[in-house]
Amino acid sequence: MRVSLTRACRFYTSPITPKPSFFSPRAILNQPFSSSSSSSSSSSHSSTPKPKTPLFLKPPKYSATLSDLKKWHNWAKALASSVRSTFADADNGPDSSILFRELNWLIEDSLEDPSLIPQLGFQNNSQSVRLRIGLDELYGLWKQRIEKRKPFQYLVGCEHWRDLVLSVEEGVFIPRPETELMVDLVSDVLVRDNDGLRDGFWVDLGTGSGAIAIGIARVLGSKGSIIAVDLNPLAAAVAAFNAQRYGLQDIIEIRQGSWFGKLKDVEGKLSGVVSNPPYIPSDDISGLQVEVGKHEPRLALDGGVDGLDYLLHLCNGTASMLKPGGFFAFETNGEKQCKFLKNYLENDSACSFCNVSIVSDFAGIQRFVTGFRQ
């Protein structure tokens, strides 16, 4: 399901597609973050990192004249214009037209009243406007975007994914548009299957920002529950932040740990296991877009020599975790990995699985491997 909302298509730095992919429009959901914490979340303790507040949720405690904001805007546009196709030619990075769009989104998120943006075209406008970030910081952020190629999502602290606006920050993997289909795969299974899977426990392994877990939790409704696991304590904290923003802290339990290590209490009881694990071959990391290879956590990218280390670990562990009839869905790097895993699951896993399938993403690239426990 693709939802059309108000924000223009957003450039997305993806490590697995040969060309830049683009977001469907998204509208910002200005929901306040609840300060209440989930009593069931095992990541809620004093040493848990505190997630940063996304720019669009920060209070507008700064001010500037429209004239000064226009000077910054002109400077930022000139910097973006100087890029031309340099990044795109080097590693399929963003060109100037994409950076112009990002610049507009940065202004929208920074201004308390984005309806004032058209007035930036007027000269010498001394009207004061309220900002969520100081002008000096705006200059610094845009320099980081162009000179260091820091991902735009890290600048503004959020990513638009399906109909969600998720907090992300440096050290946490940015959810990809192709991964949106994972939620649809689960939804389709629940519609076909029944309440037998809807009522049980689901697990999102390597949850990152919590995107998949939150999407599935909204599909499950009040009947089921989902455990979101991540080794990275910052990712676990950000996932908890996002779950609470959407009022899902009673459905999603965050556990910090490594893969199946924190799931002994639900072994053999799971209705579903889903994961978007690290699957990039180690030697390919250096050739990724700078936004990805140099800024996103390697822990969330590097899948070993052939990219299959964690995918095979998932296949082997899932056999003992799912209850009979339970469903799994794993994202991969593409056709070669999909075919290898399908063969492995059908022939080398002690006949544990059935109805193993390969599913293509929105771009027609073979991306997911799905199936059921015998």
Are 368 and 234 contained in the same domain?
Answer: yes
Q: Which of 232, 276, 327, 330 is catalytic?
A: 276
Q: Quick one: pLDDT at residue 195?
A: 64
**Is residue 17 in a domain?**
no
| Active-site annotation holds for 276 | yes
Are 183 and 235 contained in the same domain?
Answer: yes
Q: Which of 51, 175, 277, 278 is catalytic?
A: 277
User: What is the tens place of the pLDDT at every residue in 199-236?
Assistant: 889 999 999 999 999 999 999 988 889 999 999 999 99
CA distance 300 to 317: 19
Are 113 and 200 contained in the same domain?
Answer: no
Are 350 and 280 contained in the same domain?
Answer: yes
Q: Quick one: pLDDT at residue 223?
A: 82
User: Of the residues 137, 156, 175, which one is the last residue of a structural domain?
Assistant: 156
Domain encompassing residue 328:
23-52+161-373
**Is residue 14 in a domain?**
no
**Is residue 7 in a domain?**
no
Are 167 and 152 contained in the same domain?
Answer: no
**Is residue 3 in a domain?**
no
Q: Is 139 within 8 Å of 72 (Cβ atoms)?
A: yes
Are 110 and 257 contained in the same domain?
Answer: no
Q: How far is CA 251 from CA 129, 270, 367, in A?
A: 40, 15, 28
Q: How far is CA 146 from CA 81, 103, 142, 143, 350, in A?
A: 10, 11, 6, 5, 51
Q: Quick one: pLDDT at residue 13?
A: 41
Are 219 and 94 contained in the same domain?
Answer: no
Instruction: Provide the domain count of the chain.
Output: 2
Q: Which of 173, 327, 330, 372 is catalytic?
A: 173
User: Of the residues 156, 183, 203, which one is the last residue of a structural domain?
Assistant: 156
| Active-site annotation holds for 353 | no
Q: Quick one: pLDDT at residue 103?
A: 98
| Active-site annotation holds for 18 | no
Q: Quick one: pLDDT at residue 212?
A: 98
CA distance 152 to 109: 12
Name residues of the chain where pLDDT drops below 50. 1-46
User: Of the residues 120, 138, 156, which one is the last residue of a structural domain?
Assistant: 156
**Is residue 226 in a domain?**
yes
Q: What is the CATH number of the domain that holds 267?
A: 3.40.50.150
Are 325 and 357 contained in the same domain?
Answer: yes
